[in-house]
Amino acid sequence: MVLFGLLLLPILLLLLYFIVRPRPINIPIKNRHVFITGGSMGIGLAIAKQAASEGARISLLARSVDQLQKAKESICQAYEVEVSIFSADVRDYDAVERAINEAGSIDVLVVNHGVYYLEEFETQGLDVMKTMIDVNLMGSFNVIKAALPLMKDRKDKEPASIALMSSMAGQVGTYGFAAYSATKFGLRGLAEALQQEVLENNIHLSLISPPVTETLGFEQARKTMPEITKIISSTSTEMKAEEVGKITIQGIKSGSFIIPCKLDGRALAIATAGLSPQRCFIMASLEVVFVGLFRFVALFLQWNWYGIIKKKKGNSRKNQ
């Protein structure tokens, strides 16, 4: 059986080499225009600094003018690059369109903005849910809709990128993440479909899936996080924004569709690959070979999570 598998592996690799789509690509960053939403702090600012360190021209969009100015100063002090800032709310399409038109043709669009409220579905207000949908999902539609014509008409015909900041919560739903996960799962559907529409324009989609990251947004979300969510989330270690920023730029440059940020994130990417695009035939082979194993691991995780939930719910009823 093992010998048969070893004989089959080269055939599998050869087949996958010819059928993976889209084809492998390298997306340059140096001397190109990188436009980042939610770029005034946290992961967005970390991405901007990483792109600046590689010689990109940077544009940042966020709501707070003061935070944008601080972000610009911190980048300019560290790197000799051009930095432009634009104040707009991503929920306002007209404001976003004006900012993007002023910024000019974009080579790499990083749709990084987002809001993050964690609470049990039953107790979370509909207004809070709507805010997450409007910012995380509709805001992404607004940014891409405004930028796409300029990206298609860019004079530089080198490969371009649209990178969407998702989350591991956009790969698997967990307790307390119901509304937030819904917005991040939506980004995956957007990315998969849009990739097919813009490939002929040499525009390539990426979906970044970081775990819990040490940012101001997460610290605020922790205030309403259910105890069960804290226990489940503790099984995955937090990352620093700078780590996510570096991995994001590396993933964009390689044209990766899914950009996981840790080893468990890579395993989750394989387990949830489904019909997502895959450029790398080696990664495609790992998905084919290990999907069954990682599905087994996923079932074990679900068993563990449901055990935690049952135990905590049982204790809560006893204490009432």
State the catalytic residues: 166, 180, 184
Give the C-alpha separation, 135 to 142, whole Å. Answer: 10
3-state secondary structure (DSSP) of residue 215: coil
Contact between residue 90 and residue 96 where contact means Cβ atoms under 8 Å apart: yes
Q: 53 and 81 in contact (C-beta within 8 Å)? A: no
Helices (H), 133-280: 139-152, 178-198, 216-221, 227-233, 241-253, 263-271
Report how far residue 174's alpha carbon sits from residue 29's, in angstroms, rounded to the nearest whole number: 35
Contacts of residue 11, defined as CB under 8 A and 6 or more positions apart, other chains included, come to: none
Cα(7)–Cα(279) distance, rounded to whole angstroms? Answer: 24
Beta bridge partners of 208: 165, 259
Beta-carbon contacts of 156 under 8 Å, excluding residues fewer than 6 positions away, are: 32, 105, 107
